[in-house]
Amino acid sequence: MEDLGHFINGKRVSGTSGRFDDVYNPATGEVQYKCPMASAEETTDIIEKAAAAQPAWGATNPQKRARVMMAMVGLMNRDMDKLAEALSREHGKTIPDAKGDLQRGLEVIEYCVGAPQMLKGEFTDSAGPGIDMYSMRQPLGVVGSIMPFNFPAMMPLWHVGPALACGNAVVLKPSERDPSVPLMLAELFVEAGLPEGVFQVVNGDKEAVDTILDSEIIQGVSFVGSTPIAHYIYSRATANGKRAQCFGGAKNHMIIMPDADLDQAADALVGAGFGAAGERCMAISVAVPVGEETADKLIEKLIPRIEKLKVGPYTAGNDVDLGPVVTAAAKDRILGLIQSGVDQGAKLVVDNRDFKLQGYEDGFFVGAHLFDHVTPDMDIYKQEIFGPVLSTVRADSYEDALKLAMDHEYGNGTAIFTRDGDTARDFASRVNIGMVGINVPIPVPLAYHTFGGWKKSMFGDLNQHGPDSFKFYTRTKTVTSRWPSGIKEGGEFNFKAMD
């Protein structure tokens, strides 16, 4: 069985800890690779190698660094099919979903081509007599990036791209579920001209992560994953004096007002709820129709649409709407939560608990499910299911629907479907959630805006990509300089003149 290895100083290197995790093909249930789990010693060695490479990269002018980004865009486009195939084979998502994953990552690399503009400092001429003052943004040094399984291309690229463009060295710890694409991306960066050692990939689990969190070399940590781990990483990284941004889980509500176009809303819910088998932090997992009549009509429209969804392996191409979930454990967890919904009194109106795909009986497939009459006390409402399960919570009024979304502990994304501008504007203004869609079910901001949730969906201050990423990956230094023209009689500097 092939050992995927780590990516150290520009090359794949086998792990030496003797510990491995299995990487599956979720469609067949077969193990396809061994992923090495780095020891603390291996991780420390990789961090030290990154530290050795960083000063020269940090001193490289921003335009040259941007050219690496430009070359990377070309290389990713060249290898798009190969990357998408590798991504689908390990993650399970369909090829169009895999290409979407790569494309949204690529867009942040395109954005990073503008790094010189983003890194320009500020200058005040004659802040006092003979005194100029300027601020510059300098790289942090070596940063750590700990990433989730669900977007194995997009998530690393959102962090590695801006971090490198700012002149940092990066130690990436991808998800142990699907590490192949991050490793391939690291290889492409070197082909694009990135000096070896500036981008290191360490595969592993808690041991590698804790080593990153405790390393005195690491200056900043970005994390994306589940909320309990996000909170843990944020606490430990900041307790160690590091800058940290940690993005967590989600439970995204979509409110459907009585005046909404219900066909449009139903189509949107099916795409946003079941695309990528619901394994998206921006998936809509709760539909909130306002009024009984809206709810009845919506459910009537949803049922045939959901029953029509085709579940299958990515190799079936465009005939498939959703693939398997990532592991057998994820499948068991999702099925357990569906059962809890039934036991706690929700009405399972599309029930695929017995779903089996002929010829793929060992794959981790879960059919699409729709619940009606879900209430906020149920586990399927409180927890992030991260699978192809849509819950419907009926609300009596707009205020009740708004309160429901606001009272949930997660605050990543939300949407409202309505034809009424006042309601839409009120919702966007009052809701305590980071990303809002108006007649848009998955409001993922483009690369030049920023992406981030509120409440327990995010720990830290600065968002992912957009201008925030350039702030996160740099430190500001402000210089005040005085030249002889500011020296007055007697050789004394005239500070008063600064007032």
Nearer to ligand NAD, 209 or 257 (CB): 209
Evaluate whether 17 touches 37 at the Cβ level (below 8 Å).
Answer: yes
> Contacting ligand NAD (CB under 6 A), which of 7, 24, 57, 149?
149
The residues near 180 (Cβ < 8 Å, ≥ 6 apart) are 4, 23, 33, 86, 87, 89, 90, 152
Question: Judged by CB under 6 A, does residue 249 bind ligand NAD?
Answer: yes
> Contacting ligand NAD (CB under 6 A), which of 94, 175, 414, 418?
175
**Strand pairing of 243-247 and 369-372?**
unpaired
Residue 27 CA neighbour count, 13 Å, CB half: 21
Q: Footprint of ligand NAD on residues 19-78 (CB under 6 A)?
A: none
What one-character DSSP code corresponds to residue 290?
Answer: B
Q: Which is nearest to 388 in space by CA: 461, 471, 311?
A: 311
> Contacting ligand NAD (CB under 6 A), which of 274, 386, 459, 473?
386
Shortest distance in whole angstroms from residue 443 CB to ligand NAD: 13
Nearer to ligand NAD, 72 or 213 (CB): 213
Question: Judged by CB under 6 A, does residue 247 bind ligand NAD?
Answer: yes
> Contacting ligand NAD (CB under 6 A), which of 76, 146, 237, 269?
146
Question: Judged by CB under 6 A, does residue 173 bind ligand NAD?
Answer: yes
Rounded to an integer, what distance in angstroms lies between the CA atom of residue 296 and that of residue 299?
5
Token couple for 376: 């906020």
Rounded to an integer, what distance in angstroms lies between the CA atom of residue 286 and that of residue 281?
13
Question: Judged by CB under 6 A, does residue 360 bind ligand NAD?
Answer: no
Question: Judged by CB under 6 A, does residue 176 bind ligand NAD?
Answer: yes
Minimal CB distance to ligand NAD: which residue? 225
Evaluate whether 39 touches 207 at the Cβ level (below 8 Å).
Answer: yes
**Rg, the chain, Cα only:** 25
Look up 281 and say whether it is catalytic. Answer: yes
* Three-class SS state of 458: strand
Question: Judged by CB under 6 A, does residue 472 bind ligand NAD?
Answer: no
Question: Judged by CB under 6 A, does residue 229 bind ligand NAD?
Answer: yes
Question: Judged by CB under 6 A, does residue 250 bind ligand NAD?
Answer: yes
DSSP per residue, 328-396: HHHHHHHHHHHHHHHHTT-EEEE--TT---TT-TTS-----EEEES--TTSHHHHS---SSEEEE--BS
Stretch that binds ligand NAD, among 82-90, 168-176, 252-260, 398-406 (CB under 6 A): 168-176
Question: Judged by CB under 6 A, does residue 383 bind ligand NAD?
Answer: no
Shortest distance in whole angstroms from residue 10 CB to ligand NAD: 22
Rounded to an integer, what distance in angstroms lies between the CA atom of residue 303 and that of residue 281?
24
Question: Judged by CB under 6 A, does residue 194 bind ligand NAD?
Answer: no
Shortest distance in whole angstroms from residue 26 CB to ligand NAD: 13
Nearer to ligand NAD, 155 or 185 (CB): 155
Stretch that binds ligand NAD, among 18-26, 37-45, 145-153, 395-403 (CB under 6 A): 145-153
Question: Judged by CB under 6 A, does residue 265 bind ligand NAD?
Answer: no
> Contacting ligand NAD (CB under 6 A), which of 21, 85, 205, 379?
205
Q: Which is nearest to 324 in space by CA: 52, 30, 93?
A: 93
Nearer to ligand NAD, 52 or 446 (CB): 446
Cross-strand pairs, 475: 138
Question: Judged by CB under 6 A, does residue 151 bind ligand NAD?
Answer: yes
**Strand pairing of 252-256 and 413-417?**
parallel
Residues that bind ligand NAD in the complex, under the rule CB under 6 A: 146-151, 155, 173, 175-176, 205-206, 209, 224-226, 229, 247-250, 281, 384, 386, 412, 453, 457
| Residues noted as catalytic | 281
